[in-house]
Amino acid sequence: MEGAAVTALYPGTFDILTHGHLDIIRRAATLFDRLIVCVAQNEAKQPLFSPDERVQMLRDTVSELPNVEIMAFEGLTTAFAQSVGASVIVRGLRAVSDFEYELMMALMNRQLAPGIETVFLTASSDQIFLSSTLVREVGRLGGDIESFVPRPVAEVLRRKLAAQA
């Protein structure tokens, strides 16, 4: 099916959305006809924000990208990918430690859904150290997070942390 539109999925918890995530989203949006950023409901990670809050932050932040859609999902990423017609799963890599985990996930996903390929995009050098966990911790301890997350996300995070104090 040469020339067929390619739908890619970029799954993650996105708790919270960082400039590193946005870098991957923007770059993936140029590579694929349709990019679905999907917010995973992974309670094991003890998210600070609800799936609906995370979906809204993403929508508010990437609204200028016409081929990007935001959705929430539960369950297997491959099952969700198949349900929306995605043939590619996009994953971001920051460090060697990410690679080992992501490689295992990609190989498992290939076993579960052989028709879905995983594509790795490396983080930009100025974003390589960013993680949602670190940014949440800096925010929780009163540090300035404006350089790590979009301004609207920083404001939402500050309000959430203040409400918990």
Residue 19 known to be catalytic: no
Q: How many helices (H) and strands (E) does the chain have?
A: 6, 5
154 contact partners, CB below 8 Å, separation of at least 6: 139, 145, 146
Non-local (6+) Cβ contacts of 141 within 8 A are none
Q: Which of 54, 87, 91, 132 is catalytic?
A: 132
Per the annotation, the verdict on 160 as an active-site residue is no
- Which of 21, 54, 91, 136 is flagged as catalytic? 21
Choice among 94, 140, 158, 160 that is catalytic: 94
94 part of the active site = yes
Is the separation of the CB atoms in 18 and 152 below 8 Å? no
Residues 6+ apart with CB under 8 A from 118: 88, 89, 90, 91, 102, 105, 106, 109, 110
Sheet holding 68-73, edge to edge: 68-73, 34-40, 7-12, 88-93, 117-122
By annotation, the residues acting in catalysis are: 21, 45, 94, 132
